[in-house]
Amino acid sequence: MSEPLLRARDLSRTYHGGVRDFAALRDVSIEVAAGDWVAVTGPSGCGKSTLLHLLGGLDRPDRGEVWLAGQRLDTRSESERALLRRRHLGFVFQFLNLVPTMTVAGNVELPLVLQGIGRRDARRRALETLDELGVADTADAAPAELSGGQQQRVALARAVVHRPDVLLADEPTGALDSAAAETVLDLLRRRHEDGQSIVLVTHDHRVAAAADRVVTMLDGQIADERDLSGPTGRPTLRNLINLEG
């Protein structure tokens, strides 16, 4: 079998500095093949965002390994990880992280400009992507002038505009009404059909149901993993091992 596009093995991450140390992630392994769509669900605080940040090289594990496109990610320097991220990943953060001093279009152009794509092309592709998400009319506004739901779609546009190999998205529909959530799901389905891998954290059952695979976390570990792409709710190998173990 070919090497998965994104692979994490035995990841652990403990946060220090609170009243006591907190083990947010314990020995989590996950593989994402090219074209996979994985939804990560679980109760608040179970470690979903922590896992996503480690997969995207935004944070480093205390133990374990992260491999992206055949390259070890977690041992690289911050600048090397930024390069690999830029080349392979799109990221939607829970707190969006739009640049407040740039317009909406300027924010969405950023990943393209960083890849050396000319301004005019970058603008055209940014506007196309904003249009796909129903927010092209916000292009010249500042992010702060937008509603939370509009900002969320702009953040998603910025994450997919450069057609990354893998989209990592933390609650990309959290602030959206159902019509806007459907627009977002439509875009994700199109990108998935184009072969993009998607890993998204969600509390929304409808969004999770659109994925090929649903990973459920509990207390910093993977408690269940289900393959939705075949016969309904088929347990994965991991699931069977858990059941037997």
Q: Give the Cα separation of 154 and 148 in Å (integer).
A: 10
> Considering the rule CB under 6 A, would residue 18 count as an interface residue with ligand ATP?
yes
> Considering the rule CB under 6 A, would residue 49 count as an interface residue with ligand ATP?
yes
| Residue (44 or 77) nearer to ligand ATP, CB | 44
Among 44, 77, 79, 232, binds ligand ATP (CB under 6 A): 44
Number of residues that bind ligand ATP (CB under 6 A): 12
> Considering the rule CB under 6 A, would residue 56 count as an interface residue with ligand ATP?
no
Using a 10 angstrom Cβ sphere, with 0-12 exposed, 13-18 middle and 19 or more buried, the burial of residue 161 is: buried
> Considering the rule CB under 6 A, would residue 77 count as an interface residue with ligand ATP?
no
Give CA 236 to chain center in angstroms: 22
| Residue (26 or 238) nearer to ligand ATP, CB | 26
User: Which range of residues in 39-47, 84-92, 191-199, 208-216 is near ligand ATP by CB under 6 A?
Assistant: 39-47
> Considering the rule CB under 6 A, would residue 200 count as an interface residue with ligand ATP?
no
Q: Please state whether beta strands 89-92 and 71-72 pair in parallel, antiparallel, or not at all (unpaired).
A: unpaired
> Considering the rule CB under 6 A, would residue 226 count as an interface residue with ligand ATP?
no
> Considering the rule CB under 6 A, would residue 208 count as an interface residue with ligand ATP?
no
> Considering the rule CB under 6 A, would residue 46 count as an interface residue with ligand ATP?
yes
User: Which range of residues in 16-24, 77-85, 96-104, 123-131 is near ligand ATP by CB under 6 A?
Assistant: 16-24
Task: List the one residue out of 81, 85, 2 whose CA is nearest residue 36.
Answer: 2
Find out whether 85 and 91 touch, Cβ atoms under 8 Å: yes
> Residue 108: which residues within 8 A CB-CB, separation 6 or more?
126, 129, 130, 154, 157, 158, 161
Give CA 114 to chain center in angstroms: 20
Please give the residue ranges that form the binding site for ligand ATP (CB under 6 A): 15, 18, 22, 24, 42, 44-50
